[in-house]
Structure 1
Amino acid sequence: MLHSRHTFTRVCCVWRDSFWKYASHQENGTMEFFSRKKKNNNSSSPQEELYGHSLQFYGQPPIENISLTEFETFAVERLKLLKTIENLGVSYVKQSEQYSKKLESEFKNLNFPYRVEVVDRKVQNGPSEYEKRRKDHISHFILRLAYCQTEDLRRWFIQQEVDLFKFRFNDMGAKQKLEFLHRNNLQYDTINAEEKKTLHDKLINSSYAVSGITVEDQDFYKVPFQDALDLVRTRKVYLKAGFVYIPHQDIVTIVLNDFRTRLSKALALTARSLPIVHSDERLQPLLNHLSHAYVGQDYSIQKNVGKISLDQIDSLSGKSFPLCMRQLHQSLREHHHLRHGGRMQYGLFLKGIGLSLEQALQFWRSEFIRGKVDADKFDKQYAYGIRHMFGKEGKRADYTPYSCMKVILSNMPSQGDYHGCPFRHSDPELLKQKLQFYKVSPSGIGQILELVKGMHYQLACQKYFELTHNVEDANFSLNHPNQYFIESQRLLSGGSRDLKREVETPQKTKPQPAAQEISAKDIPEMMEDLDSFFQDA
């Protein structure tokens, strides 16, 4: 357990611009960041240099102290933003009006910058633009540490960050885009009116989005062809003497490729430093928590204890269980046994939907003794684990039902296991057969498999919810198996008052005030919760 008076860690960026060096901080619970880059002789401060533009490539690490409270708050709120980007990217056409409006709303709610504004630290009404840029910068580097740990995490993080960058870049005017290019040593200048007139017909014929009417009103960038190979390959630009002429709406392609390449390399370098960072047993759970983070309701509080009976479980599994739990229930009924990973995942889910300890013991005992386990062996080998799950043994922690992120990322199933996420861990053909068995329509199966192909596993599960409940829009962002169950029951019961009261919190992933109100006295409890969370992983 970590108390606030104990030593906290600080993470220092020294990786030749992006390598993390680790050091300890013994005073006040801060994370300190600094860079080993040589100081320049400019009169501007490092902060002013970093935050002179609302958009950046995140090439320079943070160079200041931040509290542990701020560390976690920044990280969680950026994670909420990235999850919103993932959900919107599947629900709407990217860069469409609806997509942009909803994303702008999330930027405002979470106080992240998305438009070029004058930096002013003295604004009193709400966070200043400077503070927003600082938050954007620091939160990116924190999640970079958390999401460099595996290939899947890196891939997800890069995709969401690229989509975030693209939205913000496209929102800038031509002047701001040119300023950004120059600040980042991308010396792509616009051609002058005379050269544009000379190449008028060539530019129209080679650029599909350009017409005789629009060519006069937009900028064209002259770029070395090797920096625009994707556009050259697809014949979307005019090529002459080793240069391509790119209309301003397509320059984002070049910038995104550069951003993706830089971020991919930076994550690979960061991953190499993980053994150093993980040498501190207090920092490791925090970073792991972020990579598995669920930002919705806490289902460890049992509001529904005793509200389901054992004879309801079979019926509920077909109507209201998410596919992962339906699969576990069916496997338990068929084989009369589940390995540890399956027992933890399914047992905590049942606890979360209202199964009491006495009911849980009866449920597991009656199923196991139908197989190769007699009652005496069950009491000796398995009953302790169930009581431990309910906080009645060991350190008596009230274990939390697994979130979608933990199911997807924390414990890969092996042969003979039935836990995990079917959308993430099942072979596509096997998943297709399973969906057919559960009478999902062919067109619905196609939609689900497309989402799985794009690695949108939670969205695939949400689509499964919509198809099996015959609704066009689930009207919630799915983050938790227990959320799936509660939303299903609310829908099937017509939204009764009791159920509605219990689920009104998780329907939307709006920023939660509690994330803004963490104080130093809350840190020991917060870290104890993290410790409990990972003891059963």
Structure 2
Amino acid sequence: MEFSSRRRKFATTPQMELYGLPLQFYGQPPLENISLAEFETFAVERLKLLKTVENLGVSYVKLSEQYIKKLDFEFKNLNFPYRVDADDRKPQCGPSEYEKRRKDHISHFILRLAYCQTEDLRRWFIQQEVDLLRYRFNDLHPKLKLEFLHKNNLEYDAISIEEKQVLQDKLIDSSYGVSGITVEDQDFYKVPFQDALDLVRTRKVYLKAGYVYIPHQDVVTIVLNDFRTRLSKALALTARSLPAVHSDERLQPLLTHLSHSYLGQDYSIQKNVGKISLEQIDSLSGKSFPLCMRQLHQSLRENHHLRHGGRMQYGLFLKGIGLSLEQALQFWRSEFTRGKVDADKFDKAYAYNIRHMFGKEGKRTDYTPYSCMKVILSNPPSQGDHHGCPFRHSDSELLKQKLQFYKVSPSGISQIMDLVKGMHYQLACQKYFELTHNVEDANFSLNHPNQYFVESQKILGGGKDAKREMVDTPQRSQGNSAFKNSPAPREKAAAPANTNASQDSAEMSEDLDSYFEEV
């Protein structure tokens, strides 16, 4: 596969025809060559957009004024197609708008490759893309809506004036927002009921002889159902081609990191190392640890041992909140020797592992604390394990019991469980943060357990030095992180990826995992 950077001449081409409308169903994959740097940047920025769509969809009523205002800002900020006028169509689409549409097209297909790998990933990707299409379709001028429908073979016939008059009372009674006055001024479409099951289920349309009569403003439901079906089939087909894609050593690490994406603070670089004392850990675990780390700490205290996955997840978290290497060795030695591991065995079997985690052994890699997406999507816990995300991996009844034990109110538990059922695991954790810190709005988007700790310390007024230093550390970009020996991606991709470095990253991860295997 060849990746090259070339200047595109702005002329009438098949791609120009493809981008003739500001919105599409992504039926045709892009055929041009792009650089790895552009590949990274497009993917990261679309992922930011989809995560914003997810957060806003839970926090606000979809298509409400606040929802639209915040999405408008994100579209402008990330330079995606935005509020195109009716006259801004082919061939008037200028170079600037063309580039936005090109980016929209290519970035969608890149994320298809990253998010077709598991059922959970596919489900999340489809939902966010459907919500995104709803917002964009409703924002289109009516003329462009009709052109979009015709281009995608969604041509439904409007009923005649005579039929509308015969069915007028039925249409008024069954259609939301339709009155005797407005029914005469708008089109109604006769559509097979299976194409509008959502409207039938919620009884928002008139159903007769296998057809429903849909007012023009509700035609978006048909568009979304059709898009969801097409995208679901496309992701299944894409999944079959993954072996061929993964054989490309340049793309495989990047696609893996995209699906485990983290777009925030870099918690591997700490200036406040040693400012957290060992005596504070028990207190901090109850006040400022996210639920995943709180359960790991509790299990460690009760069993005086954690298996490989738990040691990795919790050990890197403690490193991220400021525990020094010396403190970490003391902490783990003290706890393990209370169980079945004597001091000599600890020094032989575990001390090297901890020094390796801090970059003092082996390849001297500064390993990064796990992001929420990495905790949720990689290395699921098995029997006897305590790592992972409680909102993703715990049985629902067990999760309720944990929340009750930690004194979360019944109404709060209900809110959290609703988010869990909707597979919004990070938002469920954020709601847990709000409930346990008595705040109505956390005013941040939770993406990392160490971010949870920092934000908690801000509210509680403790750890001011740690807070200041952590905020001053560099930001991670998603793109280059796949090539920087770190599980957490960075925020902006500015340079081409280094293929050798990506191979080193995979090798180092395997090495670290092997060092932590049970003896």
TM-score (norm 2): 0.89
Name the CA distance, whole Å, in 2 between partners of 1:129 and 1:255: 24
Distance change >3 Å, CA 350–CA 532, structure 1 → 2: farther
Q: Distance in 2 between matches of 1:227 and 1:506?
A: 49
Partner of 1:77: 45
99-108 or 488-497, larger mean C-alpha shift: 488-497
Distance 1:277 1:526, change over 3 A: same
Q: Which amino acid is the alignment partner of residue 311 of structure 1? A: E
Contact 1:116 1:176 in 2 (8 A): no
The aligned amino acid for 1:155 is R
Aligned pairs for 1:200-349 within 5 A: 200-240=168-208, 242-349=210-317
Partner residue in 1 for 2:74: 106
AA at the equivalent of 2:494: I
The reply on whether 1:378 has 2:338 as its aligned counterpart is no
Amino acid at match of 2:334: S
Task: Report the CA distance between 1:458 and its aligned residue.
Answer: 0.4
Contact 1:337 1:367 in 2 (8 A): yes
Distance 2:275 2:295 in 1: 23
SS of 1:60's equivalent in the other structure is coil
CA distance 1:123–1:162, shift in 2 (3 Å):
closer
2:126 matched residue in structure 1:
158
Amino acid at match of 1:249: Q
- Distance in 1, Cα, partners of 2:443 & 2:501: 30
1:14 match: none
- Once residues 169 and 196 of structure 1 are traced to their aligned partners in structure 2, the CA distance between those partners, rounded to angstroms, is 26
Q: What is the CA distance between 1:495 and its match in structure 2?
A: 8.8
Q: Matches of residues 25-40 of structure 1 in structure 2 within 5 Å? A: 25=2
Residue 249 of structure 1, CA deviation: 2.1
For 1:435, the equivalent position in structure 2 comes to: 403
1:463 corresponds to which residue?
431
Q: In 2, Cα distance between the equivalents of 1:374 and 1:510?
A: 41
Q: Could you tell me the percent identity over the aligned residues?
A: 80
Describe the superposition over 1:60-79 as per-residue Cα deviations: whole angstroms up to 9, x where unpaired.
00011111001011001111
**How far does residue 526 in structure 1 lie from its aligned partner after superposition?**
7.1
Q: Do residues 177 (structure 1) and 153 (structure 2) align?
A: no
- 1:128 alignment partner, SS class: helix
**Matched residue of 1:359: which SS?**
helix
Alpha carbons of structure 1 residues 220 and 281: separation in structure 2 relative to 1, 3 Å: same
Give the corresponding residue for 2:110: 142
TM-score, normalised by the number of residues in structure 1:
0.86
SS of 2:34 mapped into structure 1? strand
* Residue pair 1:490, 1:500 contacting (<8 A) in 2 also: no
Name the amino acid aligned to 1:69. A
Native 8 Å contact 1:119 1:130 kept in 2: no
Residue 517 of structure 1, CA deviation: 6.0
Number of the residue aligned with 1:491: 459
Secondary structure of the residue that 1:223 maps to in structure 2? strand
Note if contact 1:30-1:66 (Cα within 8 Å) is conserved in structure 2.
yes
Q: Deviations over 1:98-119 (max 9, x none)?
A: 1111111111111111433426
Q: Which amino acid aligns with 1:518?
A: A
- Correspondence for 1:518: 494
Task: Measure the CA separation in 2 of the matches of 1:534 and 1:122.
Answer: 50
Indicate the larger mover: 230-239 or 330-339.
Answer: 230-239
Separation (CA, whole Å) in 2 of partners of 1:300 and 1:202: 64
Question: Given that residues 356 and 362 in structure 2 are in contact (C-alpha distance below 8 angstroms), is that contact kept between their aligned partners in structure 1?
Answer: yes
Instruction: Tell me if the contact between 2:41 and 2:493 (Cα under 8 Å) persists in the aligned partners.
Output: no
Corresponding residue pairs, total: 497
Whole-angstrom distance in 1 between the partners of 2:346 and 2:478:
44
Question: Which AA in structure 1 matches 2:359?
Answer: G
What's the offset of the Cα at 1:489? 0.7
* Higher relative contact order, structure no. (Cα contacts within 8 Å, ≥ 6 residues apart): 2
Q: Name the aligned partner's letter for residue 129 of structure 1.
A: E
Q: How far did 1:178 drift?
A: 1.2
The whole-number CA distance in structure 1 between the counterparts of 2:213 and 2:504 is 56
Q: Which residue of 2 aligns with 1:353?
A: 321
The CA deviation string for residues 212-252 of structure 1, in whole angstroms up to 9 with x for no partner, is 13223333223233423443454432345654321122211
User: Are the equivalent residues in 1 in contact too, given 2:112–2:235 (CA < 8 A)?
Assistant: yes
What secondary structure sits across from 1:188 in the alignment?
coil
Deviation (angstroms), 1:506 = 9.9
Flag the 1:106–1:534 CA change in 2: closer, same or farther, 3 A: farther
The CA deviation at 1:383 is 1.0
Kindly provide the amino acid, as one letter, of the partner of residue 173 in structure 1.
Answer: H
SS at match of 2:354: helix
- Measure, in 2, the Cα distance between the counterparts of 1:249 and 1:175: 13
Residue 415 in 1 paired to residue 415 in 2?
no
CA drift of 1:529 comes to 8.3
AA of the residue aligned to 1:164: L
Distance 1:387 1:120, change over 3 A: farther
- C-alpha distance in 1 between matches for 2:217 and 2:504: 47
Q: CA RMSD in A?
A: 2.9
For structure 1, the 5+ residue unaligned runs are: 1-23, 32-42
CA separation of 1:468 and 1:136: change in aligned 2, threshold 3 A: same
Q: What residue number does 1:17 align with?
A: none
